């Protein structure tokens, strides 16, 4: 079979180069993580691997529950793989978090799904994730306050996250209660963005027709949620809370693997602040910042410096590097699967004609 160079091959080659470059630049941390993991209690680390697998499957289940509400095909296994690809893309090609939605958009186009509906599904995913995480974060902040270890920058980043979550919820609530107001606000935002883009001599980021399409998709989404009933509507929140529990257990067993038993307050405070800086960070995936804040929080809560550094490296190995590496290989697997499907369709078309 003759090889044909396509744009897809070029994009994959670029992503492969970005993957190799990122791994090469940060090879020192990877070497340290491997050395640290070799010193851990193997059966606790095995539990962490099992919990990580459950968390990835649970992410697919979360997307699937949202897709089901919006009448999109809820392919859980495929959505789990796309979630990993999304984690890889957000690190390898950072663009303010927008690159993480690209795999979902590509999948929508391949399956002839409404791209606007898929974007709204990702918006709902963020609302569900940030809302449930905020509950965990508040518990962590309360514990830090009670032990008199709450820092101003932790409060500041918490307000940023809570404010952003409130904005996302307000957009969905406005589509529910006042769709005409939402459309008017989006049009004003579009005109403002167009003026700024013209002044900076940049392409217009959003057209009026795209704004109208987004407003219509949000209104249609609200209609679907209303008619889904309370059970399906609340199911994503329950799945998201389970995901927070799985991630807390991962941190707990990582600490156990190195002889440190965290009580509930220390566990929730460490986890919540780590995820907070993962979400709000100037570097992809919070690389460098999350490690520093995790060590700072754990040492301030009574964990020895060496143990805190060891737990941090091992935990980041499972929660940052493992999804990143698996995401690259999941990208390749999805590309092969899609290619096989397309070739099967091409073979059937002449027969049907």
pLDDT band (50, 70, 90) for residue 352: very low
Decide if pLDDT at 339 tops 80.
no
In the chain, where the domains are located: 11-301+313-331
More confident residue, 128 or 223: 128
Report how far Cα 299 is from the mean position of its chain's Cα atoms. 28
Which of 350, 140, 141 is closest to 251 using CA atoms? 140
What's the pLDDT tens digit per position in 153-179? 888 888 988 898 888 888 777 777 777
pLDDT band (50, 70, 90) for residue 59: very high
Q: Give the pLDDT of residue 343.
A: 47
Mean pLDDT over each residue of the chain, to the nearest integer: 83
Decide if pLDDT at 100 tops 80.
no
pTM of the model: 0.85
Rounded average pLDDT over 185-204: 72
């Amino acid at each position: 079979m003759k090889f044909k160079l396509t744009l897809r091959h070029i994009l994959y080659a670029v992503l492969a180069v970005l993957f190799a470059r990122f791994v090469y630049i940060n090879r020192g941390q990877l070497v340290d993580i491997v050395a640290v993991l070799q010193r851990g209690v193997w059966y606790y680390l095995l539990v962490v691997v099992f919990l990580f697998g459950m968390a990835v499957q649970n992410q697919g289940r979360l997307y699937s529950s949202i897709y089901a509400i919006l009448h999109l095909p809820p392919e859980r296994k495929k959505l789990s793989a796309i979630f990993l690809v999304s984690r890889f893309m957000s690190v390898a090609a950072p663009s303010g978090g927008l690159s993480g939605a690209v795999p979902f958009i590509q999948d929508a186009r391949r399956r002839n799904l409404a791209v606007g509906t898929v974007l709204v599904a990702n918006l709902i995913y963020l609302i569900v994730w940030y809302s449930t995480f905020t509950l965990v974060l508040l518990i962590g902040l309360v514990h830090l306050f009670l032990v008199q270890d709450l820092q101003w920058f932790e409060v500041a980043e918490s307000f940023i996250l809570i404010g952003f979550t409130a904005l996302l919820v307000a957009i969905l609530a406005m589509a529910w209660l006042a769709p005409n107001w939402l459309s008017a606000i989006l049009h004003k935002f579009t005109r403002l963005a167009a003026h700024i883009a013209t002044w900076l001599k940049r392409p217009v980021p959003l057209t009026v027709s795209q704004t109208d399409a987004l407003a219509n998709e949000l209104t249609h989404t609200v209609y679907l949620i209303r008619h889904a009933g309370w059970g399906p509507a609340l199911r994503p929140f329950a799945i998201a809370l389970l995901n927070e529990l799985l991630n807390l257990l991962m941190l707990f067993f990582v600490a156990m693997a190195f002889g440190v038993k965290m009580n509930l307050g220390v566990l929730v405070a460490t986890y919540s602040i780590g995820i907070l800086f993962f979400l709000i960070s100037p570097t992809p995936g919070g690389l460098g910042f999350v490690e520093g804040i995790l060590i700072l929080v754990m040492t301030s809560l009574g964990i020895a410096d060496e143990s805190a550094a060891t737990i941090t490296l091992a935990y980041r190995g499972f929660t940052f590097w493992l999804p990143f590496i698996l995401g690259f290989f999941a990208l390749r697997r999805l590309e092969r699967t899609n290619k096989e499907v397309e070739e099967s369709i091409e073979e059937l078309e002449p027969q049907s004609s």
